[in-house]
Structure 1
Amino acid sequence: MNILICSIGPRVKQVEFLKEALSNEGKVIAGDSDPLSAALYVADDFVLLRPFTDEGYIASILTACREHDIDAIIPVRDEEVLKLVKNKSVLDNLGIKILTPSEEMVEICLDKMKTYQYIRNLNYPGVPTFSKTEEMLDILAEGYFDFPLIVKPANGDGSIGVCVVDNKEELERITSTNERLLIQPYLKNREFGCDVYVDLISGELVDMFIKEKKEMKEGATDKAVSLHHPELEKLVRNFLKDSPELRGPIDIDLFEYNGHYFISEINPRFGAGYIHAHLLGCNYMDYIVRNLKGQANTPAEPCHYENGVTMVRYYDYMLKRF
């Protein structure tokens, strides 16, 4: 069994974890458009792909799959998740599995407005998200939320272009441009990340890891502490039961505000902080390999990881002679 993990960049640990899960039963092929991506050189082999913004991206994926006899693809960037799932029928015809939810579900997850509407339609608490100033002001008038607000590009990536707005005048000034913006209340009493694995075969929730985010950098978790939190666990479990199209590794972000919990984002892929979960025994790579062998996973015991363990992200260096 050969697995392509693409646009891998610096995610060295994820490649190493996947190699351990495959053991001697296959190879991990790392793909990226940058030949200096560190994770390429810890995989069993690597391929240089076209950038996912390039029209030739899918053609380069198909070439890599043929040359390396690929059985499955794990995408780790939002943009490539959407491109791959839109070409699912082509990959299916080649017998290649992509670890993503359905195309419809991916499109919901990658659009913050659609995400909020989806969460609300299922009667779960989502972070109020609007594109019109008047809509946000109406919510503020109800008295539950207040300034400051968050204003960000509708098609933003990570925390690029995000600004905090403290009053109505500032809000109206920032939103007077023609740029498509989204407006949300600033619900950052506490922020949480939840890494889940939903079985590709049975559709059951197999494992869940909750962390409280202590520091973020460029949209990724820099410091976090593992957390046992029954109320959050129940919220996520129930939400996933009502969202049967969410499968595989999923990263869910949540906020606490005035003692209440809100689902913020649903990322249809591994989260950047998955290392934390893995090192504390939530081995989603094993679950993937078992599913790809046609075996359903047995759900893990709830909160089997150690509570209160802090992860701190740091940078290392690699020397390579080309």
Structure 2
Amino acid sequence: MINRNTTGFISPSNVLITSISRKVPLLQSIKAAMAKISLNMKLYGGDNDRSVIAKHFVDSFWEMPRISHLDIEELISYCKKNRIRFIIPTRDGELKYFSSNRDKLKRLGIYVMVSPLSYIEICLDKLNFFSSLRKHGIPVIPTFLCIEDSRENMKYVVKERFGAGSQTLGKSLTSTQALNHAKDLKEPIFQPMIEGTEYSIDIYVDINGRSKGVISRTRDKIVDGESQITTIKNMPELEKLCSNAAEKLGLYGHVIFQVIIDQYNEFHIIECNPRFGGASTLSVAAGLDSFYWFLLESMGENLDHYPFIQNEKVSTMVRHPQDYIY
């Protein structure tokens, strides 16, 4: 619990989480961070679907317009009315909106946990992401707009160039199969199929562009692109690599790198999600206190006074449905 307020915020200063959907564990992690700041803070949740499950786990629900229809002045008005000083977007499709408006919001005393726009655009464009990391000599999986259909001995992954889109992913395809699969995609890109162990690396990058803390974990069971079972495995070399990549990319806040380690123990960075992920709550439980650190930084606190200490007792998380009765 901090002992001072260095920002002059009107008390209480509340938090808005957007696209809450069914992200109940995320909301619970944010509530825990808020409790360290003030017991008077309220959690607001926004979504364009009024029937979302997570609305039952916030103090107040806002049926938001779709992000493409949300005028920035409407957002500012809502934040002022409800004394919201912190915003945490949770969906890829809204990151560019909040990033492009983050400076305007900051001038009004409203802080968003999101990276600068140019760096968001790099992460959301898989071809640009590949080119950017390659320039820095960082091992990133090769990514191309086209392939030669005669290379039948190689297997490919085909996916959309922009966004997540795990449901349209094609894996372990021959060149002919890959080219056919690509016909059903809007802007396909091709990558070589690499077998190995999949890792997620959670990182918090502070306001000065330095990695505050990092935790790596195996993706033991994956459903629809997200880890249903994930286990922490300390990998100093991998953690250093991804921390360096995050800093080179100019990111801010909580980010996640997806990496494959092949049979030769070589690293292949697949992508970076510049936001909090579905299974990142394990890393928070293990000491990567991203939400708390974001709130502290937004209030003018120096994070050097809040060291990252990993909880070695936390190791595995299994995501599962749970009844909520009230």
TM-score, normalised relative to structure 1: 0.87
Mapping for residues 157-236 of structure 1, pairs under 5 Å:
157-175=164-182, 179-200=186-207, 202-236=208-242
When the two chains are superposed, the root-mean-square deviation of aligned CA atoms in Å is: 2.5
**Structure 1 spans left out of the alignment, 5+ residues:** none
Aligned residues: 309
Task: Describe the shift of the 1:289–1:190 C-alpha distance in structure 2 as closer, same or farther (beyond 3 A).
Answer: same
Aligned-partner SS, 1:133:
coil
Aligned-partner SS, 1:71:
strand
Counterparts of 2:65 and 2:26, CA distance in 1: 21
Aligned-partner SS, 2:303:
coil
8 Å CA contact 2:157, 2:173 repeated in 1: no
Counterparts of 1:203 and 1:89, CA distance in 2: 17
Task: Describe the shift of the 1:128–1:308 C-alpha distance in structure 2 as closer, same or farther (beyond 3 A).
Answer: farther
The residue that corresponds to 1:9 in the other structure is 21
8 Å CA contact 2:159, 2:165 repeated in 1: no
Task: Describe the shift of the 1:133–1:190 C-alpha distance in structure 2 as closer, same or farther (beyond 3 A).
Answer: same
Counterparts of 2:165 and 2:218, CA distance in 1: 18
Structure 1 residue 85: deviation in Å?
Answer: 1.2
Structure 1 residue 156: deviation in Å?
Answer: 4.9
Aligned-partner SS, 1:87:
helix
Mapping for residues 43-122 of structure 1, pairs under 5 Å:
43-52=58-67, 54-56=68-70, 58=72, 60-122=74-136
Task: Describe the shift of the 1:3–1:216 C-alpha distance in structure 2 as closer, same or farther (beyond 3 A).
Answer: same
Counterparts of 2:299 and 2:103, CA distance in 1: 20
Structure 1 residue 238: deviation in Å?
Answer: 2.6
The residue that corresponds to 2:9 in the other structure is none
8 Å CA contact 1:192, 1:255 repeated in 2: yes
Counterparts of 1:210 and 1:296, CA distance in 2: 25
Task: Describe the shift of the 1:55–1:84 C-alpha distance in structure 2 as closer, same or farther (beyond 3 A).
Answer: same
Structure 1 residue 32: deviation in Å?
Answer: 1.1
Structure 1 residue 284: deviation in Å?
Answer: 1.7
Counterparts of 1:133 and 1:164, CA distance in 2: 15
Structure 1 residue 57: deviation in Å?
Answer: 6.0
Task: Describe the shift of the 1:129–1:204 C-alpha distance in structure 2 as closer, same or farther (beyond 3 A).
Answer: same
**2:43 paired with 1:18:** no
8 Å CA contact 1:193, 1:251 repeated in 2: yes
**2:51 paired with 1:36:** yes
Structure 1 residue 289: deviation in Å?
Answer: 1.9
8 Å CA contact 2:160, 2:185 repeated in 1: no
Aligned-partner SS, 2:109:
coil
Task: Describe the shift of the 1:101–1:22 C-alpha distance in structure 2 as closer, same or farther (beyond 3 A).
Answer: same
Q: 1:281 aligns with which of 283, 287, 291?
A: 287
Matched AA of 1:36 = S
Identity of aligned residues (%): 25
